[in-house]
Amino acid sequence: MLLTMSTAWKPQLRRTHTEAGAATAEPHNAFTNVHYVRKIDQPTEVKEEKQMKYAFVIARVLLGLIFTVFGLNAFLHFLPTPAVPGLAGQFMGALLSSHYYVIAFGTELIGGVLLLSNRYVPLALTLLGPVIVNIVSFHLFLDSTNMAPAIVVTVLWFVVFSQVRSSFAGLFVAKEAGVKSGSRAEALGAA
């Protein structure tokens, strides 16, 4: 953090008189000219932190609304669903006729509700991660004309993830399964 002084620090010399009466120059207390010290970066840091917090809340609520509304729509059919032509339509037809959509849209609904309630946000992101991969894959390979919603959902997911990434820290640690000690040699009994 950068600290500044209201006046420039300059060592000042003060004239004192010795017993013989000759004037000598001694350093004066340099901090007598300092009126106050203030933190320059504090308002900026607080402002950026608040902005990031607002961005996190907005992204979490938007992501929660998107997945809650579209998850409910699969079961209640309150939004009109246009017919999708070509291979994408065949894929959607297979999902609907096999009732696989219950699992996919049920996962969307659960993840969306968890995000809206602000409870178990890391669990919600874990549930919605594979769903988003499927959405992006669907739009990338089958229906590339409507790629914008997939990109928006992906960006929102990463914004929310950035605020709770510490919850996922254990996933990115390279460890061997079943090894509890500090090293593999100790676990195998070697000295």
Q: What is the DSSP string of 6-42?
A: SS---PPEEEEE-TTS-EEEEE--GGGS---EEESSH
Q: Does residue 175 or residue 107 have the better pLDDT?
A: 107
Chain segment 65-95, per-residue pLDDT in tens: 999 999 999 999 999 988 888 999 999 999 9
- What pLDDT score was predicted for residue 63? 97
Within a domain: 34: no
Q: In the numeric block, which tokens belong to residue 187?
A: 């676990």
Domain total in the chain: 1
Identify the sign of the CA torsion 70, 76, 78, 79. positive
Domain assignment of residue 142, given as a range? 54-171
Query: Which band of pLDDT confidence, cut at 50, 70 and 90, is reported for residue 181?
Result: low
Neighbours of 64 (CB within 10 A): 23
Taking the model in full, what pTM does it have? Answer: 0.68
Q: 13-17 and 23-27: which strand pairing?
A: antiparallel
Within a domain: 138: yes
Closest alpha carbon to 31 in 48, 8, 53: 8
Within a domain: 15: no
Within a domain: 30: no
Within a domain: 26: no
Helices 121-141 & 101-117 angle (0-180, nearest 10)? 140
Within a domain: 108: yes
Q: In the numeric block, which tokens belong to residue 70?
A: 């579209």
Within a domain: 46: no
Query: Which band of pLDDT confidence, cut at 50, 70 and 90, is reported for residue 9?
Result: very low
Within a domain: 27: no
